[in-house]
Structure 1
Amino acid sequence: MAMKVEAEASISELPLSQTDINWDRLDKTRFHFIGAILFTAQSAFLHPIAVVKTRMQVAEATFAHMSGRSVFRNILRKDGIPGVFRGFGTSAVGSLPGRVLALTSLEVSKEMMLKSTEGSNMPEATRIAVANGVAGMLSNIVSCVYYVPLDVVCQRLMAQGLPGMNTYNGPYDVVRKVVRAEGFRGLYRGFGVTILTHSPASALWWGAYGSAQHVIWRSLGYGNDAEKRPSHLEMVAVQATAGTIAGACSSVITTPVDTIKTRLQVMDNYGAGRPSVIKTTKKLLREDGWRGFYRGFGPRFLNMSLWGTSMIVTYELIKRLSVKHV
């Protein structure tokens, strides 16, 4: 979740970096208002895939070996359309303050990094890349404090109905039962692994995005020719393609850790003691062997590829719509 708000403009070495819209040029109220609407719409589009992915990751081995399409049909047959949108209301409403926090920390820290490196001998492309990377990492750390409890609640709402899973009467019931069983720290299950994995995952995403965009622009013949400017349609198409490639690459590498994190946040039947990363990993290995780490890979691959495309295009649109009118 936290990673899904870590967005920024091109870090390519091409002259396109000049089109970046920085924090001081934005109408902050409009930026957050438009962002809330468009990112909520994006989340609604991708939420059913997230539900399928979560169920495949936490289900018992037999159910987990079903294809993503079969799991989706199974949910529709048992619960109808509401079943594939379980947890969406909590996620959509709960994410609003989180997005303000994450986007603000992202833009402010990026602006500070750009100013602190201004006048240095660092190449412009490298300076922008460093600013984006540091901003994404800081934003991830700040937003995880808010998003991990929300993620725990949403994941449990998505997984209810599966054999062995608890049932809840809404998000407040999840919070009440988790706190009663484990105390407040139960809402922060997976916090450490989220911090340790999302930061490098964010770096991986942006590295793949920047590299893919650089290769695509060069293949289109733009190179470093500042006089040859791409059309708006070309910019959107290249950003979308690079975002898709970045999401796909990231999903391949980060799915095993995401599977462990999701199970750690959702599952309770570990016997005596509090769930841990080691217990979760051992349980998954017993159930399904090493291939269990790639449970839900198909839906997650699709989710991150579509997310990469829609996120970067949506974010660039939000920034263009939020530029101050002088």
Structure 2
Amino acid sequence: MAAPAEEEFDYESLPPNFSLSANMLAGAFAGIAEHSVMYPIDLLKTRMQIVNPNSTAPMYTGISNAMVTIMRAEGFRNLWRGVSSVVMGAGPAHAVYFATYESVKHAMGGNEGLKHEHHPLAAAVSGASATIASDALMNPFDVIKQRMQMQNSAYTSIGHCARMVLRQEGFSAFYLSYPTTLCMTVPFTALQFMSYESFSKFMNPSGTYDPYTHCFAGAVAGGLAAGITTPLDVIKTLLQTRGTSTDPEIRNARGLWHTASILKRREGYAGFFRGLKPRIVTTMPSTAICWSAYELAKAFFIARSEG
């Protein structure tokens, strides 16, 4: 006798009729939720990472000090300056991100076996593959976002920013940081996905939908990966904002190793950890929100498939 439909697949392995479009919608929902909620802290991180000795921007001593200083000097609305670029880019990028993740994970056998079986290699490779695909879409939007986040940014809108960067620095400015981004996000995502899968399996061996597990595992995995990859994030920020720098050396930074050598010579190893706290503070709730939103959307589509 054939087994009931709901027993032919479990929560971890998606049902056969779970379409690519549904998977992409779940990913888009997760990406927009992740980036929008924590955007002000991400803005603080960008400002703390910028090296510009000739700037009149205030020196921030911490997250709360930076938040209060910006609100007093620029108003509350400026904490959200450039968020529309993230919303526009995060939806499509995360749709591709999670669609690639599920496809590669399935191809590598990450959904095979019993619910309690663990496939860390499949999780790591699928995560790395996902970020290579999504970053190709997201990188230009991230460049625009960080230009808008800067102190006294001259750009009035994301369209104005895109046109000015294209006119003054060329199309390559949108992808100058892409190799550095991949050097950061590939190990970040591989570590995050592997940690997330590991924590999830440990906390929830049954593999059923559990929002508490998804939230906690996502936060811990994201914070761990963020702390380890902060030096590369600092370099990425410098490359993405170099066109606005008044420092000739920073303005002419050519790539990952050249920028790293400038930072090391000027500030030592401490320079590579600029913005460490706000990066972790941003990433932990962001990844918790992202995974919770994605798993919720996935559970919703699976429930509809069962119905």
Bucket of the pairwise TM-score, normalised by the shorter protein: 0.7 to 0.9
Q: How far 1:95 sits from its partner (Å)?
A: 2.4
Offset from partner CA, 1:265-289 (integer Å, 9 cap, x none): 1123334745322342243335433
Q: What is the alpha-carbon distance in structure 2 between the residues aligned to residue 211 and residue 131 of structure 1?
A: 12
Structure 1 contact 256–293 (Cα < 8 Å) conserved: yes
Corresponding position of 1:185: 172
Q: What is the alpha-carbon distance in structure 1 between the residues aligned to residue 269 and residue 19 of structure 2?
A: 49
**Is residue 186 of structure 2 the alignment partner of residue 199 of structure 1?**
yes
Letter in 1 for 2:127: G
**Is residue 257 of structure 2 the alignment partner of residue 278 of structure 1?**
yes
Structure 2 contact 222–283 (Cα < 8 Å) conserved: yes
Letter in 1 for 2:123: N
What secondary structure does 1:275 align onto?
coil
Identity, % of aligned positions = 26
Corresponding position of 1:3: none
In the alignment, structure 2 segments of 5+ residues that lack a partner are 1-8
Offset from partner CA, 1:199-242 (integer Å, 9 cap, x none): 1111211233234345545xxxx7xxxxxx5886xx32233222
Letter in 2 for 1:152: V
Q: Structure 1 144/42 Cα, relative in aligned 2: closer, same or farther at 3 Å?
A: closer
Letter in 2 for 1:319: K
Q: Structure 1 124/285 Cα, relative in aligned 2: closer, same or farther at 3 Å?
A: same
Q: How far 1:59 sits from its partner (Å)?
A: 4.9
Corresponding position of 1:68: 63
Corresponding position of 1:154: 145
Corresponding position of 1:238: 213
Q: How far 1:181 sits from its partner (Å)?
A: 2.9
Corresponding position of 2:45: 53
Letter in 2 for 1:109: V
Q: Structure 1 37/101 Cα, relative in aligned 2: closer, same or farther at 3 Å?
A: closer
In the alignment, structure 1 segments of 5+ residues that lack a partner are 1-16, 223-228
Corresponding position of 2:129: 138
Structure 1 contact 46–307 (Cα < 8 Å) conserved: yes
Corresponding position of 2:282: 303
Letter in 2 for 1:92: V
With the length of structure 2 as denominator, give the TM-score of the two structures: 0.82
Corresponding position of 1:7: none
Aligned length: 290
Structure 1 contact 242–309 (Cα < 8 Å) conserved: yes
